[in-house]
Structure formats: C-alpha cells, structure tokens
Amino acid sequence: MSNNSSPRLPVFAIERHRLTTDGQGVSTLVGAYGCTLACRYCINPHAWNSDTLKKCVSFTPETLYERVRQDELYFLATGGGITFGGGESLLHAEFIRAFRQVCGRRWRLTVETSLQIPSERLEMTLDSVDEYIVDIKDLEPETYLAYTGMPIDRLLANLRILSSRIASPPQGGAPVSVHIRVPLIPGYNTPKQLQTSAEKLRSMGFSHIETFPYVLK
C-alpha cells in the first residue's frame, strides 16, 4: 500500500518487451526524468528538458509495480525485469530501493547510469540492483569535463565502489554485475584514448567492457 512518504518517480516513457538491449532477458524500460550531466551530444535531451517534466506521469513503487507487472511471466521465463533509465536513474535511488521491496527478488533490476551522483545514492542501491550499465563517456579528466560539463571525481569514486563490491561481494549476497560502455566521441576523444579508458577499467577489475562509436545524426 502506498502512503504519502513513498518516493515518487517522474516517468516520461515506459517501453515494454525490450530484448537484450537494456540488460538480460525481456525487460521493460522505465525512463525517469532528471540528469546531472550536460553531454554535448546528448541522446536523450527530453530526460532533462523542463517541458518533459510537465508531461511526466508520477508513480509510487506500488503504482509502478501495478503498471508493469503484466509482463511478469516474460521476466521470470527469461531472467529479465525492469531497467531504470533516464537521464540519470540513480537520482531516484530511494525509489529503486523501495521498488525492490515491492517487486521481490525474482525480477532482475538493472539501472543505466553515468555514476555522476553522490556515492550515498549508489550505495543505497547496492543490495537492490542486479546490474549496472555504466556509460562513462571518457576517463581522461579534461575530455570528460569538456564533454559533460562536470569534473570526473564522482564517477571515479563510484567506479571504485563498484570495483570493490566485485572484488569482495557481501557474504551470502549476489555478486553485482557491471557492464561498462566506453564510447568513441567524435571531436572529443580518440581511438587511443578509448583503449586507455578500457585498460584503466580492466585494471580496476571490470571485465564486461563494451567499446563503440557514437554515430552523429
């Protein structure tokens, strides 16, 4: 049952029946409003445009569960579930943690994130999220700042938190899965920089690293 203190999620899109594009199995993508970055080639500007917020539908964990549970059979049969995207999904860490309480452990919960959030928000979700899909942009500080408008420190601090969680999973807890996306960004980084970022990530203990070029339209 919802109450006035339930966190609310401003949602601009719910896309059902996504297969392998946003994590494992069949998933429903829940796009939530808000972002902490200002990427030069933002692929999702409506995630932070204030006009979008006026059109968002707001859910509590309970009402979102009622809205998406029609696909539970698909989730259970394929090991899928809900992917929280945006924008920056971890701005809504309280909501994600509360949603886990409502949906139980059998749905896979994935978040798409830039990790550009205070570390407490990441830590708040560690026992609730099965997989983090991290778009890091670039690990070279000046390139990161030029492309996103933000210093890189928070991203690095949060990568270290995920890395230590991989190295020392909690006793009896499920190991966290981290998929890191490293783009080649026209005009901002080079194939050599991209490889340097990937090597740094490997040295931090990450193994699921995807490199790909941004294609500008």
The verdict on 44 binding ligand SF4 (CB under 6 A) reads yes
The verdict on 42 binding ligand SF4 (CB under 6 A) reads yes
The verdict on 47 binding ligand SF4 (CB under 6 A) reads yes
Contact stretch for ligand SF4 (CB under 6 A) within 13-21, 40-48, 158-166, 193-201: 40-48
Which run of H or of E encompasses 102? helix 93-103
The verdict on 37 binding ligand SF4 (CB under 6 A) reads yes
Share in percent of the chain as helix, strand, coil (round to 5): 40, 25, 40
What are phi and psi for residue 135, nearest 5 degrees?
-100, 105
Which residues, other chains included, contact 149 with Cβ-Cβ below 8 Å and sequence gap of 6+? Answer: 37, 38, 39
26, 30, 35, 159: which one binds ligand SF4 (CB under 6 A): 35
Contact stretch for ligand SF4 (CB under 6 A) within 37-45, 102-110, 161-169, 202-210: 37-45
Q: Which is nearer to ligand SF4, 112 or 131 (CB)?
A: 112
Separation CA 38–CA 32 (nearest Å): 16
The verdict on 87 binding ligand SF4 (CB under 6 A) reads yes
What are phi and psi for residue 51, nearest 5 degrees?
-65, -30
Q: Which is nearer to ligand SF4, 61 or 87 (CB)?
A: 87
Q: Which is nearer to ligand SF4, 6 or 44 (CB)?
A: 44
The verdict on 134 binding ligand SF4 (CB under 6 A) reads no
Structure tokens at 126: 């560690």
Separation CA 147–CA 160 (nearest Å): 22
The verdict on 43 binding ligand SF4 (CB under 6 A) reads yes
Separation CA 163–CA 209 (nearest Å): 13
How many residues interact with ligand SF4 (rule CB under 6 A)?
Answer: 10
Question: Which residues bind to ligand SF4, rule: CB under 6 A?
Answer: 35, 37-39, 42-44, 47, 87, 114
